[in-house]
Amino acid sequence: MTEETIQAAEPGIFDTHAHYDDEAFDCDREDLLAEMESAGIKRIVNVSSSLETTRSTARLAARYPFVYGTAGVHPDEVGELDEETFAWLEQRAQGEKIVAIGEIGLDYHWNVEEKDTQKKWFVRQLQLARKLSLPAVIHSREAAQDTLEIIKSEAEGVTCDLHCFSYGVELAREYLNRGHYLGIGGVITFKNGKKLKEVASYAPLDRILLETDCPYLAPEPNRGKRNSSLNLPLVVEELARLKGVSRERVIEATWENALCFYGMDA
């Protein structure tokens, strides 16, 4: 498959957030990715979470025409950032097929890094996104208010994807009113996923991005197993049910949303 083939692709399923460089795929990565086109998975963005995964993501994007990448450092990993490594990250973020800064943000669940350190590098990476005219992929766990305040103050001119959105309708409204997107994946199929179902029902279809976060968060009935983009039709089905539209409409809309968010050609 050539780059020209990808650019001319008809709407298909677009996995906006995957981690195929994860060791969970070491045993069958090539075979698994070879299945994607025939399964209707037309494009994948592999999302970085550290300096090392920024490297491995770039290698994946270079190898597979339908895979793109991001450059960024997750809040659990920001301890590896200093002025020298940040300058390196900025250089990598300008690489071919790098389409966003991410995943960046705040994680107060694990608190691997001090909150002030997380905030500092969240802001710096948002500033980098603005400087390079790239969107940002946001990780926010148990950090609702601080995430919102930083995006309000520091993300002017930066479109954000609230990856694996885990808050309620009120916060969803705040982000949607500012022109951001909500990343929705397997959790929407969970029996205890009521809050996300409410958010998905509320959010306009043109502001929803499909994602897996694979190898994590496989949808029902595969919950607890290794996730992959091949499970996204299950998410599409649940979104279609909640929105009262066809599966085809969900696929078409989320394809267009992802192209718009990442600034890609069709």
Q: What is the DSSP string of 84-153?
A: HHHHHHHHHTTSTTEEEEEEEEEETTT--S-HHHHHHHHHHHHHHHHHHT--EEEEEES-HHHHHHHHHH
What is the domain extent for residue 51? 3-262
pLDDT in the model for residue 9: 64
From residue 25, give the alpha-carbon distance in Å to each of 58, 165, 168, 213, 223: 16, 24, 32, 13, 17
pLDDT value of position 266: 81
Continuous segment of H or E residues that includes residue 156:
none
Residues 178-194: tens digit of each pLDDT: 999 999 999 999 999 99
Residue range 101-122: average pLDDT?
97
pLDDT of residue 167: 98
Q: Rounded to an integer, what is the distance from CA 157 to the centroid of its chain?
A: 19
Q: What is the mean pLDDT of residues 150-166?
A: 97
Q: pLDDT, tens digit, for every residue of 232-252?
A: 999 999 999 999 999 999 999
Residue 177 has a pLDDT of: 98
How many structural domains comprise the chain? 1
Q: Which pair of tokens denotes residue 93?
A: 């973020």
Task: Tell me how many helices (H) and strands (E) the chain has.
Answer: 10, 8
Q: Which two tokens stand for residue 194?
A: 């009521």
**31-89 residue pLDDT tens:** 999 999 999 999 999 999 999 999 999 999 999 999 999 999 999 999 999 999 999 99
CA distances from 21 to 57, 156, 183 (A): 6, 31, 20
Instruction: Compute the CA torsion angle 138, 255, 207, 152 (nearest 10 deg).
Output: 30
Cβ-count burial of 120 within 10 angstroms (0-12 exposed, 13-18 middle, 19+ buried)? middle
CATH code, 127: 3.20.20.140
Tens digit of each residue's pLDDT (9 = 90 or more) over 4-22? 444 456 899 999 999 999 9
Contact 155, 174 (CB under 8 A): no
Mean pLDDT of the chain: 96
